[in-house]
Amino acid sequence: MDKNYNEKEKKIFDGLIRLIKDGANPYLIKVQEIADAAGIGKGTIYDYFKTKEEAIAGAIVYSINKEIAEAYRRIKNKQGFRAKFDELLAVFVESIKNNLSTINLLLSAGGAQKFYEYLRGDQYDFTGLRAHADEIVRHLLQAGYEEGIIKQPGNRYYEQMAVHGALAGFACFLGRQDFHDRLSLDEAGEMSYTFLLKALN
């Protein structure tokens, strides 16, 4: 998941993410601040990145990749389809509530629009992140096949769409809990699971 970044690139990325998580606005960070946080010379940054924005975009993708990798590790360590799905919901809850989540930090600073031209390039392509997320869904579905909870593989696109739909509904609840004050978090999770089972069978 680290795309074979070398140690200095990782230092730059980790330094940038620390700055952002300590409250720095990613759109206002100076190159010297990045160098100081990474423990390297200012000129070294330009050995690896053409611009400050390119470095920040790389750090964002790198950090989100690490968060996805950690989520995958947690889900793989759970036994059984239901436990894996519940852990996936727990990751969603923590990500929404965690103000230090890279995704939340980026959105709170105004979104990724200013870095769009870098994020859509080959080196920082978000489709790679989507591929990692899809691997989590495939792992979850495989557990369902093995337990007989899901009938042996049908249309893979439909099955992945069912998982995404269940997760999207749960995420919608998390984003607007004030509209659903009579519904508890556990109840929303149970409904999401029930919806997924019905959609898959």
Q: Which of 155, 135, 153 is nearest to 76 (CA)?
A: 135
Tally Cβ neighbours within 10 Å of residue 133. 15
What domains can be seen in the chain, in order of their start residue? Answer: 7-200 (1.10.357.10)
Phi and psi at residue 122, to the nearest 5°:
-60, -40
Residue 68 near residue 92 (C-beta atoms within 8 A): no
Q: Which of 121, 117, 101 is nearest to 109 (CA)?
A: 101
Residue 45 near residue 55 (C-beta atoms within 8 A): yes
**Which residue is associated with the tokens 């759970």?**
78
**Which residue is associated with the tokens 């369902």?**
144
* pLDDT values of the chain reduced to their tens digit, one per residue, 201 residues: 446 788 899 999 999 988 888 878 777 889 999 999 999 999 999 999 988 888 888 888 888 888 888 889 999 999 999 999 999 999 888 877 765 565 555 544 444 455 445 455 545 555 566 777 888 999 999 999 999 998 776 788 899 899 999 998 888 888 777 777 788 989 999 999 999 999 998
**How far is residue 200's CA from residue 195's CA, in Å, rounded to a whole number?**
9
pTM above 0.85, yes or no: no
| 80 dihedral zone (left: phi>0; alpha: psi -120 to 50; beta) | left
B/e letters for 60-74, b = 16+ CB within 10 Å, e = fewer, are: bbbbbbbbbeebbeb
